[in-house]
Structure 1
Amino acid sequence: MPKAQETVLEIDLNALKHNFEHLKSRLNNNTKFMAVVKAFAYGSDACEIANYLQTLAVDYFAVAFVHEGVQLRKAGITKPILVLHPQAANFKILIDNCLEPNLYNAKILSEFIAIASAEKLHEYPVHIKFNTGLNRLGFSENDVDFIAEKLKETNAIIVKSIFSHLAASEDLNEKEFTINQIEKFKSIAKKVTQSLDYKPLLHICNTSGTLNYPEAHFDMVRSGIGLYGFGNSEKENKNFKPIGSLKTIISQIHTINKGESIGYNRAYKTDKLLKSATLPIGHADGIGRQYGKGKGYVIINNQKAYILGNVCMDMIMVDITNIICKEGDEVIVFGPNSTAENLAKTAHTISYELITAISQRVKRTFVGN
């Protein structure tokens, strides 16, 4: 791997391929695979990631919002794209870009049918989401008859899939709750399908569901965090390779005398002579203030260098008193060995939050295929 000469997020496409193939190996041959590339593909680069996954024969993509799907279409993605949280204001743009909406309540279903009818569409693909326990988005089981009636009244749309979302599939202490969700979904899907003269795809499993509940793979699974290298458990993490390495360099080294302070608000005051290194990365790049004051760390020449004082907008200062290094040396913020998950734990958060927070001003580079 080339040494960093500036702050850069290095994305390993070989690791992405490995993760995809591992997840696929857990499925039956006829189970489809939906790659979740919302939030810039979990903080990496949605267009590059999706284009590469398209070459690996992913069946579907999923994004959170319409504009994310539009970007993928502009980048050459031709596979179906599910928009997980569309808003009615963007329905015309969604249709113009052949995106497929998740319709999750009576209002959004009725409004989409209205615009699809006005556009004289025939059997436009939509997805119907049911709430089985996450209590976030989705129809309830009591809405099945209403949905059936709305669908009978129009041929403008066709239900491509029925789906739900597991609330705690990574937590085996919540196995009973998850199994109840799966059984509830089966019941709902059966009722909806009986009201149709065709069979939509069924899907409920996210990454952890895919790994922990093979009986619930149904027709398709959805994977986000697993593609990017995290299995949500120490056991499963061994089977994945984090695709992102956030690197930076040492801009300047200071010798700080006893009694001096470092950074804004004098948040760190020395009680002995120490050496600090200033790095060109800060909370505007995704390293939040919660990592400051000795909680978070970076890796310099295979040693941990803890963050001193408050994280600045564009810089952090780290303790290199016992590390042999020089200005211009490479610094690893996170990567395959010192992972984003480990760094996130120092701030009592999760890898998802850290990796999706990496600012778009951080340069992206690609290695591998």
Structure 2
Amino acid sequence: MPKTTETTLEINLSALTHNYSYLKSKLESNTNFLAVVKAFAYGSDSVAVAKHLEALGVDYFAVAYTSEGFVLREAGIKTPILVLHPQPTNFKTLIDHCLEPSIYSFKVLDEFISTASHCKQQDYPIHLKFNTGLNRLGFRASDCNNIVEKLKATAAVKAKSIFSHLAASEDLNEKEFTLHQISTFRAVAKNLESLIGYKPWLHMCNTSGVIHYPEAHFDMVRCGIGLYGFGNSANEDQNLNPVASLKSVISQIHKIKPNETVGYNRAFMAEGHQKTATIPIGHADGISRQYGNKQGFVFIKGLKAPIIGNVCMDMIMVDVTNIECSEGDEVIIFDGIHKASTLAESANTISYEILTAISQRVKRKFLK
């Protein structure tokens, strides 16, 4: 593989294929697969990832906002796209680009029916979201009668699916709570189906739900982090391949004398003769300040080099006192061996955060 010469996020599409196939293997053949590609496909590249998954035969995509769906449509993606958190101000744009909204409140339902009617739509697909315990977005079970009354009063929209979101499916200590969520969702769906007179699709499982709760796969599952190589457990991580590898280079090496300081606010002071390497990546690229002062680390020549001092906007400094290295040498921030989840844990956060934080100014390179 060519040597890394600048800060680069490598996106391995073969790893994406592997993860998709592995997660699909957990499903019955008639269960649909929705790929979550919000937040630039978890910090990678939403267009490239969506095109690759579309070629593999994925059934649905999900994004957070209408603007993300617009980008995919402009890039030629034809697969249905669910917008998980649409804003009423964007409903006309959403309809113009054949995006499908999550409807989670009566205000949103009323405004979308109004916009769809104005646009002369008929049976426009909507997805009804119910809150079963996450307490973030969603109707309550007691709202079913009023929802159905509004749906029956218009021909502009039709419920394509009923869905909810698991709060702690990765935590088996919370199994009782998760099973209660699943039971609540089943009851809501059964009631709504009886009132509405037809059967929308049901979906509830995220990546951890797919792995731990096969009884809740229903008509479709929604996978995000698993597609990108993380299964929310050490055991499942072994079955998945990280899609993204973040690499950089050593810009300069300094020899630091005892009591000399490194970086802003003199946050690091050398206790003896030390050697530091400066690397062109900083908090503007997604390596936040919480990784500074030896909380985070990189790998050079296969050896761990702790980040010292405060993370700068465009640079970090690492301790390479015991590493034989030179200016221009490759630096691994994370890859398939030195995983993003491990780096995230060092700063008491999760893989989702470090992946989605990678700035769009970082060069993307696609590997097949």
TM-score strictly above 0.5:
yes
After TM superposition, what 4+ stretches of structure 1 lie above 6 angstroms from structure 2?
none
Aligned equivalent of 1:71: 71
Deviation at 1:118, TM superposition (A): 1.2
In structure 2, how many angstroms separate the alpha carbons of the residues matched to 1:205 and 1:115? Answer: 30
* CA displacement 1:243-298 (0-9 Å, x = unmatched): 00000000000000011000000000011000000000000000000000011000
Deviation at 1:198, TM superposition (A): 2.0
In structure 1, how many angstroms separate the alpha carbons of the residues matched to 2:200 and 2:292? Answer: 49
* CA displacement 1:186-240 (0-9 Å, x = unmatched): 0000011112232110000000000000000000000000000000001111100
What letter is aligned with 2:91?
A: F
In structure 2, how many angstroms separate the alpha carbons of the residues matched to 1:367 and 1:335? Answer: 13
Is 2:202 the counterpart of 1:184? no
Aligned equivalent of 1:287: 287
Q: What SS class does the counterpart of residue 138 from structure 1 fall into?
A: coil
In structure 1, how many angstroms separate the alpha carbons of the residues matched to 2:27 and 2:38? Answer: 23
Is 2:229 the counterpart of 1:212? no
Q: Give the TM-score normalised by the residue count of structure 2.
A: 1.00
Is 2:34 the counterpart of 1:39? no
In structure 1, how many angstroms separate the alpha carbons of the residues matched to 2:367 and 2:81? Answer: 26
* CA displacement 1:289-308 (0-9 Å, x = unmatched): 00000110000000000001
What letter is aligned with 1:77?
A: I
In structure 1, how many angstroms separate the alpha carbons of the residues matched to 2:120 and 2:247? Answer: 51
In structure 2, how many angstroms separate the alpha carbons of the residues matched to 1:318 and 1:363? Answer: 22
Deviation at 1:2, TM superposition (A): 2.7
Fraction of identical pairs, as percent = 63
* CA displacement 1:128-162 (0-9 Å, x = unmatched): 00000000000000100010100110010011100
Deviation at 1:3, TM superposition (A): 2.1
Aligned equivalent of 1:171: 171
Is 2:156 the counterpart of 1:156? yes
- How many residue pairs align between the two structures? 368
What letter is aligned with 2:134?
A: L
What letter is aligned with 2:190?
A: K
Deviation at 1:333, TM superposition (A): 0.2
Where do residues 228-307 of structure 1 align in structure 2 (5 Å cutoff)?
228-307=228-307
- Calculate the aligned-residue CA RMSD, in Å: 0.5
Aligned equivalent of 1:330: 330
In structure 2, how many angstroms separate the alpha carbons of the residues matched to 1:33 and 1:301? Answer: 40
Q: What SS class does the counterpart of residue 285 from structure 1 fall into?
A: coil
Q: What SS class does the counterpart of residue 226 from structure 2 fall into?
A: coil
In structure 2, how many angstroms separate the alpha carbons of the residues matched to 1:248 and 1:194? Answer: 57
Aligned equivalent of 2:25: 25
Is 2:309 the counterpart of 1:309? yes
Aligned equivalent of 1:199: 199
Structure 1 runs not aligned, ≥5 long: none
Q: What SS class does the counterpart of residue 195 from structure 1 fall into?
A: helix
* CA displacement 1:108-127 (0-9 Å, x = unmatched): 00000011111111000000
Q: Which moved more, 1:215-224 or 1:2-11?
A: 2-11
Structure 2 runs not aligned, ≥5 long: none
* CA displacement 1:50-91 (0-9 Å, x = unmatched): 000000000000000000000000111000000000000000
Aligned equivalent of 2:224: 224
In structure 1, how many angstroms separate the alpha carbons of the residues matched to 2:196 and 2:140? Answer: 18
Q: Give the TM-score normalised by the residue count of structure 1.
A: 0.99
Is 2:159 the counterpart of 1:133? no
Q: What SS class does the counterpart of residue 255 from structure 1 fall into?
A: strand
Q: What SS class does the counterpart of residue 108 from structure 1 fall into?
A: helix
In structure 1, how many angstroms separate the alpha carbons of the residues matched to 2:196 and 2:60? Answer: 23
